[in-house]
Amino acid sequence: MILPIRYQRMAVTQEQQGKTAMDLQKMAVQMLMEKLGAKDETTADAALGSLLGGGDGAGLDLGGLVEKFSGGDLGGALASWLGDGDNEAVGAEQITSAIGGDQIAKFAASLGVGQDEASNALSSILPQLIDSNSSGGSLLGSAAGLASKFFK
């Protein structure tokens, strides 16, 4: 089931976009480090950027991640993360299916953890990350620049 996802565009300067993208990445790195008990922030940052980045060094691409999740069996869970209510839980296997086993394997190897541990961590932090950067079914300010690609 594909659910319509609304992206909210906000007036944000490029400087603010860069700062909020960095804040988003920093928050994601901290969440990952706490979940895995990791000590190396540089490695965690590079691993997340490689897995969830937009490919241009601009930080995490939540808009792309939301788009990927909306097309699969995570649509209902995604709607709960974007909304203002409780977040629906997802399993590690759902995250692996949505992102791709090869990508999860590379991510896990770069962190020096097993694939199950990596996908379990992602199944915990991705709902929180999307929820904290959305409201009322829309991605908000920290993702506004990233989501703008949908309005070309």
Banded pLDDT at 114 (limits 50, 70, 90):
very high
Determine, yes or no, domain membership for 130: yes
The distance of Cα 24 from the centroid of its chain, to the nearest Å, equals: 9
- CATH number for 39: 1.10.10.690
Determine, yes or no, domain membership for 89: yes
Determine, yes or no, domain membership for 1: no
Residue 117 has pLDDT above 80, yes or no: yes
CA distance 137 to 131: 9
Domains identified in the chain, total number: 1
Determine, yes or no, domain membership for 10: no
Q: What is the pLDDT of residues 119-141, one digit of tens each?
A: 999 999 999 999 988 888 888 75
| Pair 119, 95: CB distance under 8 Å | yes
Determine, yes or no, domain membership for 112: yes
Q: What is the pLDDT of residues 19-47, one digit of tens each?
A: 455 678 889 999 999 999 877 899 999 99
Determine, yes or no, domain membership for 56: yes
Domain that holds residue 44: 25-147
Q: Is 99 helix (H, G, I), strand (E, B) or coil?
A: helix
One-letter amino acid for residue 4 of the chain: P
| Residue 7 structure tokens | 């992206």
Determine, yes or no, domain membership for 2: no
Determine, yes or no, domain membership for 16: no
**Backbone phi and psi for residue 49, each to the nearest 5 degrees, phi listed first:** -60, -40
CA distance 28 to 13: 22
Q: What is the pLDDT of residues 59-111, one digit of tens each?
A: 788 888 888 888 778 888 999 999 888 999 999 999 999 999 999 999 999 99
